[in-house]
Structure 1
Amino acid sequence: MMKKKYKFMTCNWENLIYLNFHMDPELLAPFLPKDTEPDLLNGKAVISIVCFEFSNARLFGFKIPFHQYFPEINIRTYVKKKDNGNIKGIYFLSEMVPKFMTYFTGKFIYGEPFSLRKLKISKTEKDLKYFIKDSGCEMEIEAGKKNMHSDRELTEEEEFVIERSLAFCGKASQNARMYEVKHQKWNLVESSNFNFTIKKIRHISSDIQNVLLDKKPESIFMTDGSGVEVYKDLFI
């Protein structure tokens, strides 16, 4: 049998805000697929809360009715294969959306950790705010945009978080499945006035909750985003 890649989704991810926290990798490891391990930055695992605008979605080339624009917030970490440390990517711990079909398809068809949340976005030309308030989760994340692009070089942490082309999914008792995520190079957005409050995230493990609720992020930044193509392997 041989693998052949097929494109199963296209969409836009734009106006991304990243809050990045550091965590003891030994506490994170039990929540990862069994054939992966934390990819470390200076000896620490990194957990990111990432907010973005999701739009223009097509599944196998077809538009998804009533799901062409909405905000999403995910909580993710960074992993590598145990048998090949050069294979690195993102692993999603939580994917929060306000649209039922996205939640249903992601959770029950693709096995991703989606949850249906009362998630909204408020934006002007210069300000952007994502917020959730329901029984299971409560957070607000806000940023002011000074300029659409920043010319400065990426820091080590920014490059570690942004430059990822693979996504892993699967439960801790399983081997991971991999998806390839293709997009043009994302640019830093010159930003200011980052504000956030995180009061509860009850649908993730207590060890990870404690990091996100009790610690300050090591870094916060924005990128512009772009069109995205998502590929999966097909055995033929």
Structure 2
Amino acid sequence: MSVFLKASWENIVMANYEIEPEILSKYLPSGVELDLYNGKAFVSLVGFMFKNTTIFNIPIYKFGTFEEINLRFYVYRKVGNEIRRGCVFINETVPYKVVAWLANALYKEHYTTIATKHYWNIKDTKKEIKYEWLVDKKWNSIDLTARTEAKTMEDNSFEQFIFEHYYGYTKVNTIVTEEYKIAHPSWKINEISSATIDCDFQKMYGNDFAVLDKTKPTSIFLAEGSAIAINWKRNKI
């Protein structure tokens, strides 16, 4: 029972925003530090497909494939000589209440449930990817066009910084943090030719993130994704 969840994460969009570190301070779990890129802090608005989910190798047929939208930021933890680079989720949104309840009950995550949908149109040379989620009767969206050809991320690139955080950290309370590991290969990325973000950050994530409504993303990335596995064991730190 070492692996709790297996799934495929596909067509992962990351819209990345520079943000003042002070905004993130109250969300920072105990025992980790903000992970900065060139001295700057970032949050990412993420959209992707969660497909063919199994829990302890048991398929979740009706609820195993769905869109997820989340807002995350980046941290690291020192364990001896090892640097564990990970993410903290402000919120994770899925369309099924049972999925949100399971994640929150078992792992004290921050899942909420709202209506979501997606549109994919993948051709020989072009991908059209769109994720939508409903907030106060308005559909928010991430909408982009990219090349179908995929390439390997360059070492020490901003793409690598954004995508290659293999730990998750959950703030249980002001003292307790839970650490878990996400296993997947390094993803290949698609070159984006156009992208539009329509997100009401204040309504979706609260007043702390209202500043993002007036902020343009520093970059938007698309990764092909892969099979992933999340361990059952969580370390309390």
What is the TM-score normalised by the length of structure 2?
0.88
- Are the counterparts in 2 of residues 29 and 37 from structure 1 also a CA contact under 8 Å? no
What is the match of residue 16 of structure 2? 20
What is the match of residue 116 of structure 1? 113
CA pair 180-151 structure 1, distance change in 2 beyond 3 A? closer
Deviations 1:25-65 (A, max 9, x none): 12211112122221111222110011101101001111113
The alignment partner of 2:151 has SS state of coil
Q: 1:165, 1:96 → 2: CA distance?
A: 20
Q: 1:223, 1:76 → 2: CA distance?
A: 16
2:66 pairs with 1:65: no
Shift of 1:229: 0.7
Deviations 1:59-105 (A, max 9, x none): 11111131121111111001123776822211111101001211111
Runs of 4+ in 1 over 3 A off after TM superposition: 82-85
Alignment of 1:85-234 (within 5 A): 86-125=83-122, 126-135=127-136, 138-150=139-151, 153=154, 156-207=157-208, 209-233=209-233
What is the match of residue 38 of structure 2? 42
The alignment partner of 1:49 has SS state of strand
Deviations 1:109-141 (A, max 9, x none): 211110101111012123111011232875210
Q: 2:138, 2:76 → 1: CA distance?
A: 29
Aligned positions, number: 230
The alignment partner of 2:233 has SS state of strand
Gaps of 5+ in 2: none
Deviations 1:206-227 (A, max 9, x none): 22x2232121111111000000
Gaps of 5+ in 1: none
The alignment partner of 2:159 has SS state of helix
How many percent of aligned residue pairs carry the same amino acid?
27
Q: 1:230, 1:66 → 2: CA distance?
A: 20
